[in-house]
Amino acid sequence: MDNIFINIAGWIRDFIAGFGLSEGLVYLAMVLVKFVAVLVFVLLNVVFLVYMERRVAGFFQERLGPNRVGPQGIFQLVMDILKLLSKEDIVPAGADKLVYKTAAYVIFVPTMLVYMVIPFGKGMNVIDLNMGLFYILAVSSLTTLIIFMAGWGSRNKYSLIGGMRAVAQMVSYEIPFVFSFLGVIMLTGSLKLSTIVEAQQDVWFIVLQPIAFIIFLIAGNAEINRGPFDLPEGEQELVAGYHTEYTAGRFAMFYMAEYANLLAMAAIGTTVFLGGWHGPWLPGWLWFFIKMYILVFGQMWVRWTFPRIRIDHMMHFNWKVLLPISLANILVTGIGIKAYEMLRTMGWW
């Protein structure tokens, strides 16, 4: 069971190679097959996460949640999708149509690029880059630009303010988010995600870097605009924020991207801090999914427990609390590594 997906990939590779293609074409074909597999996996999980969050929200708010359409309301999302597809697709007359439409079409792209390097199990990633962690940080930052494009292209003051909030929030929290990984990089000496997971075979980095893990959770939540950091789409003052003017299928793209980002953040946390595929008895890929969904549930718990904070409080917390703590964590990690090396050299360890 541990190698079931690797074996399936091997069978597909042998089938494609049977057509007499060159090694390079076979490699490109396998990358495409793996990308489609990851895309299907993400879309199916997004569908489940929407239902899961509604049930979690209902539980924490002492109400039922979806319960009418299908057993336990499991078909409610199907009806929502049909509703969105049947709605009229309206483009504001004053909008910059190229920017407005492009933002909706590409909002999913950075998230899918992140999934390309996530190791869902041993050998179970589309591409195993030597700079995988740096690649994730680079492509995920593109979301900031796309959200601002949506706000700017809509030519709506509420959308524009939502987009500007998103830029301020995501750029600010990206700094401690990046710093939360530096301790792990210092311990492993590598940016390769598979190497980082293999280094956690005996001890997970959540044990060695607990402060960094907490910073990652907080900054990551702010990066994907989840509550209580969902300031770019504050309903009370900005209607729906940067996607106020989007309807039908284009709104659905933004809605689905939020849950795809949530899943991606949980996958990154599982890879870097929770040992990735390591775990007893069960197949590695199953352990990965269990850890990933534990983090997803934790983020949903936070969203439906804490109220939305003020924008000035949020920025104050980032620059005056998270950033100094993340820098202190890097300093302590460096001192600890140096002390360990000195003790080992002296024969004390």
pLDDT of 35 reads 85
Closest listed residue to residue 112, CA positions, set 130, 95, 135, 134: 135
Q: Is 69 exposed, middle or buried (0-12, 13-18, 19+ CB in 10 A)?
A: middle
What DSSP string describes 7-46? HHHHHHHHHHHTTT--HHHHHHHHHHHHHHHHHHHHHHHH
- DSSP character for 321? I
What DSSP string describes 59-121? HHTTS--S-SSSGGGTTHHHHHHHHHHHS-----TTS-HHHHHHHHHHTTHHHHHHHTT--SS
Closest listed residue to residue 258, CA positions, set 28, 42, 23: 42
**Torsion sign over Cα 108, 288, 212, 131:** negative
Whether omega before 228 lies within 30 degrees of 0, making that bond cis, reads yes
Q: Where are the beta strands (DSSP E) in the chain?
A: none
pLDDT of 1 reads 62
Provide φ and ψ at 129, rounded to 5°: -80, 145
Please, which residues have CB within 8 angstroms of residue 200's CB and are 6 or more apart in sequence? Answer: 275, 276, 278
**Is the pTM value of this prediction over 0.85?**
yes
CA distance 194 to 197: 5
CA distance 68 to 175: 44
Tens of each residue's pLDDT in the chain, 349 residues:
666 777 787 788 878 887 777 788 888 888 888 888 888 888 889 888 988 988 898 888 888 888 888 888 888 888 888 888 888 778 888 888 888 888 888 888 888 889 989 998 888 888 888 888 999 999 988 888 898 888 888 888 888 888 888 888 888 999 999 999 999 999 998 999 999 999 998 899 999 999 999 999 999 999 888 878 877 666 566 566 788 888 888 888 888 888 999 999 999 999 999 988 888 888 888 999 999 999 999 999 998 888 888 888 889 999 999 999 999 999 999 999 888 888 888 877 6
Provide φ and ψ at 278, rounded to 5°: -70, 135
